[in-house]
Amino acid sequence: MVRAVLLLNVNPTREKIIAERLLEIPQIVEVLVTFGDYDVFALVETNSPQELAHLVTSKIRKIPGVNRTATLLEAYNPKEPKN
């Protein structure tokens, strides 16, 4: 599994609409509207890096009002057991 945090910069007043659209995507497991440099935070789980790339470039960036994205790939989660 590939997990990533997506940070989105969106047009003013579109935060709620974009957050709701993101929640319609099955690979997105959590969405938060935030303050600061980025307006929306999304936690994503995909089966491969290719699926993640396709999701970001073909779906998320095409949502009207999304201006910019940053994708942070998970390196490891200290809460999960080590293999």
The distance of Cα 67 from the centroid of its chain, to the nearest Å, equals 13
Q: What is the mean pLDDT of each run of 10 residues along the chain (83 residues)?
A: 97 97 98 96 97 97 97 90 70
Q: 25 exposed, middle or buried (CB, 10 Å; 0-12, 13-18, 19+)?
A: middle
Residue 83: its pLDDT value, please? 63
Cα angle, residue 67 at apex, residues 36 and 28 outer, rounded to 5°: 80
CATH of the domain at 17: 3.30.70.920
State the total domains in the chain: 1
Would you say the pTM of this structure is higher than 0.85? Answer: yes
Question: Within a domain: residue 40?
Answer: yes
Could you tell me the residue range of the domain that residue 38 belongs to? Answer: 2-73
Question: Within a domain: residue 78?
Answer: no
